[in-house]
Chains A and B, each alone.
Chain A
Amino acid sequence: MRSWKMNRLMTLLISLLITMAASAQDAEMADVMRANGKINVVVAVLATIFIGLIVFLIYLDRRVKKLEKESKG
């Protein structure tokens, strides 16, 4: 049982190492943007727009519900 667990752990560690080695290729990525945190500005903008859209959808949903109640009553 113990050795089985150890095996699992080793496999995990090895696969982690392999992924890290594979990800160390030199493809150009936006590393600077990540390092100085400017990426968070982009995330904040997108999150704001998305929340706004959802709030809009909820509002629309409520209006439709109100109309449905009126047309039934």
Chain B
Amino acid sequence: MKKNWWKFLGAALVFYSVIAGLLNPVPRLDILNESIRNLYFHVPMWFSMIAMLTASFVMSIIYLGNQKKKFDIRATEFTYTGMMLGLFGILTGMIWAQFTWGFFWTNDPKLNGVAIGMLIYAGYYILRQAIEDHEKRARVSAVFNIFAYPIFVVLIFVLPRINDSLHPGNGGNPGFSKYDLDDGMRMVFYPAVLGWILIGTWIATLRTRIKKLELHEELEDE
């Protein structure tokens, strides 16, 4: 139980963000209206995805250093969990965009960047499926991951800031802090981000443990 405190912390933080996110007062803004509350749910998906992919990136580097199988498994499961969170981010973003920008998909550089980024990580998944040999698969996909991560960061953090973007903090738009994230919102937003990162880590570690069990059985069968 002692080792699991962070799982409960994550659950408690997100639980708090669900309740406070709906009940706490928010700035009254045109166009956004009540949908500003999506910030507590849509944006943490992206933050936690980045956290998962960063963890995966680190695991891949460690794997290339010591060639221990468990780091390959961790890297993979963190990537898959990150992709799941990213998919939630895209879907929730599309709903939000339809009702504030008028379209499910705009040619916003952030949207297209993220779409390309997700395709790169889909390539990671396909690459792993394609290589039979365990060690070769682990090594090639670790290298792929180490290259994919910086490209992904450029695609979603750098390019949208250079081009025009509808997202806050990009393309000359003021960032969160300027007008759409007052102190009251911060009190919900940051706990939500931390909570989702912890829950994402929980899911990723669960997947890692299951994968290890599967591999264990495979070895016994041989």
Contact = CB atoms under 8 A, between A and B. Distances in A.
Interface of A: 19, 22-30, 39, 42-43, 46-47, 50-51, 54, 57-58, 60-61, 64, 67-68, 71
B162 interface: no
Contacts of A42: 22
Contacts of A58: 7
Nearest to A43: B22
Secondary structure at the A interface, as helix, strand, loop or mixed, is helix
B221 to A, nearest CB: 13
Given A29-B33, A57-B206, A46 B22 contact: yes
B213 A22 contact: no
Contacts of A43: 18-19, 22-23
A61 B206 contact: yes
B216 interface: yes
6 contacts: A23-B28, A25-B29, A29-B28, A43-B22, A47-B15, A68-B209
A51 B14 CA distance: 10
Given A22-B27, A27-B33, A57-B203, A50 B182 contact: no
A25 B27 CA distance: 9
B71 to A, nearest CB: 18
Interface string B22-35: 11010111101110
A46 B210 contact: no
Nearest to A27: B28
Which secondary structure characterizes the binding site on chain B?
A: helix
Contacts of A46: 18, 22
Interface string B5-48: 00100010011001100110101111011100000000000000
A1 to B, nearest CB: 26
B202 interface: yes
A58 to B, nearest CB: 8
Nearest to A25: B28
A47 B18 contact: yes
A64 B206 contact: yes
Contacts of B199: 57
A64 B18 contact: no
A22 to B, nearest CB: 7
Contacts of A19: 182
Contacts of A27: 28-30, 32-33
A64 to B, nearest CB: 5
Contacts of B30: 25, 27
